[in-house]
Amino acid sequence: MLKRYLLAPGPTPVPSDVLLAMAAPIIHHRSPDFIPVIDSAKKGLQWLYQTKNDVLIICSTGTGGMVGTVNNFFNRDDKVLVINGGKFGERWTNICRAYGLNVEEIVVEWGYAVKPEVVEEKLKKDKDIKGVFVQATETSTGVYHDIKALASVVKKYSDTLFVVDAISALVAHDLRTDEWAIDVMIGGSQKGVMLPPGIAFVSVSDKAWARAETSKLPKFYFNFRKERANLAKNQTNFTSPVTLIIGLNESLRMLRAEGLENVFRRHATLANATRKAVQAIGLEIYPRESPSKSVTAIMSPPGIDGQTIYKNLREKYGITAAGGQDKAKGKIFRIAHLGYSDRFDIITAIAGIEMVLKGMGYPVKLGTGVAVAQELLMAEEEK
Ligand SMILES: Cc1ncc(COP(=O)(O)O)c(C=O)c1O
């Protein structure tokens, strides 16, 4: 028997209580039974997003939320600034270009975070920039871009929307939608909110709604103004992902019971323990600065292929982590501590890494990293 452990940056494990909630019989999405379900999800998402704005519930993966953002708030030929520091930054560029936007990129070396001053300089020079697009966590590199600092720059420009892909950061990072003035923020169900894949969340500020009135790009499935009107009636435009929304209420209940600050602290603790533990066995963290609290990207030791580490973790020990993407393929592997993740997930991951590396001939004293993680996690208990 090979017991499975899911430690990837999405999909993430779904708690039993959420799975059980989703086993309930399907109810009709236009029936009165569904009204309190969606009403509660709507309010719960506003709590999680720390916002009074609408948070749309879209039946798609996270990328659908990204696509809808581009075709609902922008126009062909709009000049936009994309922060491209990895695979998902590149995705913003690809989506914007697919809709005919005029993209200017700030290319950030993989493993680094964007400098807010660079964004400020661009916005100062070019008053035509209609939007700044960024990831909170760039999942491919494990870097967190400083959303608070970036928001404080963009909010000075009344004609520029600040758009954040928080698909892999939501729940792990404290992202204050209203306080910081984030205009559009996208989340995805299969990440921090501990659900199966299938819904995207999109928060929309008044500034962004005003822009939506002028957007002429074609819209059919992703029509956010229609979604907003439906949400006001506790409906979605098309058939609602009923089961996932029922599950969402359960996962939001769990997060509320833990408390937002504790949720963020848990993620910070797990991320810190992961980093220190792998460093204790001589491995390097891939991010040169600003490591994310959702996922840790770890460099494979010289001469050892990162994809093989990832493959051995899965095949020998049942641990599904993630490999590297694109130019980081073979150089790194990634361990997530996102959503339904606790101390023993980290200990399992570190123990697995040690065993895989030893099996591949890397000089590691078994238990070295595990002990460091245990010490740090226990120290946190005393606080
Ligand atoms: C930062 C980020 N953006 C976008 C996506 C794409 O989300 P989805 O696969 O749900 O479309 C992911 C998923 O890994 C992600 O981590």
- Number of the ligand 1 atom closest to the C-alpha atom of 169: 1
Report the 3 state secondary structure along 259-321.
CHHHHHHHHHHHHHHHHHHHHHCCCCECCCCCECCCEEEEECCCCCCHHHHHHHHHHHHCEEC
Pocket-testing residue among 83, 164, 168, ligand 1, by greatest number of atoms within 8 A of Cβ: 168
Omega of the bond leading into 287 within 30 degrees of 0 (cis): no
* Buried/exposed code over 300-321 (b: 16+ C-beta within 10 A; e: otherwise): bbeebbbeebbebbbeebebeb
- The pTM is what? 0.98
CA dihedral 337, 341, 342, 346 (to 10 degrees): -40
DSSP 184-227: EEEEETTTTT---S-EEEEEE-HHHHHHHTT--S--SSS-HHHH
pLDDT on residue 226: 98
CB 131 within 8 Å of CB 181: no
> In angstroms, how far apart are the furthest CA atoms of the chain?
63
- Number of the ligand 1 atom closest to the C-alpha atom of 200: 10
Ligand 1 contact via 168 beta carbon (within 6 Å): yes
DSSP 336-380: E--SS--HHHHHHHHHHHHHHHHHTT----TTHHHHHHHHHHHHH
pLDDT on residue 383: 79
Residue closest by Cα to atom 8 of ligand 1: 62
- Write out the chain's pLDDT in tens, 383 residues: 999 999 999 999 999 999 999 999 999 999 999 999 999 999 999 999 999 999 999 999 999 999 999 999 999 999 999 999 999 999 999 999 999 999 999 999 999 999 999 999 999 999 999 999 999 999 999 999 999 999 999 999 999 999 999 999 999 999 999 999 999 999 999 999 999 999 999 999 999 999 999 999 999 999 999 999 999 999 999 999 999 999 999 999 999 999 999 999 999 999 999 999 999 999 999 999 999 999 999 999 999 999 999 999 999 999 999 999 999 999 999 999 999 999 999 999 999 999 999 999 999 999 999 999 999 999 998 77
Q: How many Å lie between the centroid of ligand 1 and the Cα of residue 63?
A: 6
Phi and psi at 180, nearest 5°, equal -95, -15
Q: How many Å lie between the centroid of ligand 1 and the Cα of residue 280?
A: 30
Pocket-testing residue among 69, 88, 110, 175, ligand 1, by greatest number of atoms within 8 A of Cβ: 88
pLDDT on residue 382: 79
- Number of the ligand 1 atom closest to the C-alpha atom of 66: 4
Residue closest by Cα to atom 7 of ligand 1: 62
Helix then strand then coil, % of the chain, to nearest 5 = 45, 15, 40
